[in-house]
Structure 1
Amino acid sequence: MPIDFEVGGVYLPPIAQALLLAMPLLFALLWLLQRLGVMQRVWHPALFEGALYSCICALIILFMGS
């Protein structure tokens, strides 16, 4: 079971931890996809980035639960 963190008097529930952890992973993955040329083939980059962020968050939450 995920634990709750308190940082500087601010309570971070597990969902907020997953959302914060997903941001650097998203940026690294987008950088890699840009370097490989995948982003030039994407029809709508903003929708793709949002969907990718959702998938990364979902995977983190699944791994946190186990």
Structure 2
Amino acid sequence: MPREISFFDAYVPTLLLAVIAAGVIALVADRILVRIGLYNLVWHPALFRVSLFTCIAALLGLAIYR
């Protein structure tokens, strides 16, 4: 996969698009986890949400730059 993608004649890093996609995936996963009731078992929900986003973004970044 290329390191940059041309978007309206401006080069956008592929990692930026991966972070945006990770945000969408984390938002959907967060909604599912709220419905399941997992946040009743989590010590710090905000910290869990940030770590979930970080893990998803890191996995997408590794998939792109591997």
TM tier relative to shorter chain: 0.7 to 0.9
Structure 1 segments of 4+ aligned residues over 4 angstroms from their partners: none
Q: In the alignment, what sits opposite 1:41?
A: 41
Give me the whole-angstrom Cα distance separating, in 1, the residues matched to 2:15 and 2:32. 26
Question: What is the CA RMSD across the aligned residues, in angstroms?
Answer: 1.6
Residue 35 of structure 1 and its aligned partner are, at CA, apart by 0.8
Unaligned stretches of 5+ residues in structure 2: none
Unaligned stretches of 5+ residues in structure 1: none
Written as runs of structure 1 = structure 2, the 5 A alignment for 1:5-44 is 5-44=5-44
8 A contact 1:2–1:65 mirrored in 2: no
Instruction: Kindly provide the CA deviation profile for residues 14-57 of structure 1, in whole angstroms up to 9, marking residues without a partner as x.
Output: 22111111011001100111111101211111111111100000
- TM normalised by structure 2 equals 0.83
- Identity, in percent, stands at 33
SS in 2 for 1:29: helix
**Aligned length in residues:** 66
1:50 pairs with 2:50: yes
Q: In the alignment, what sits opposite 1:59?
A: 59
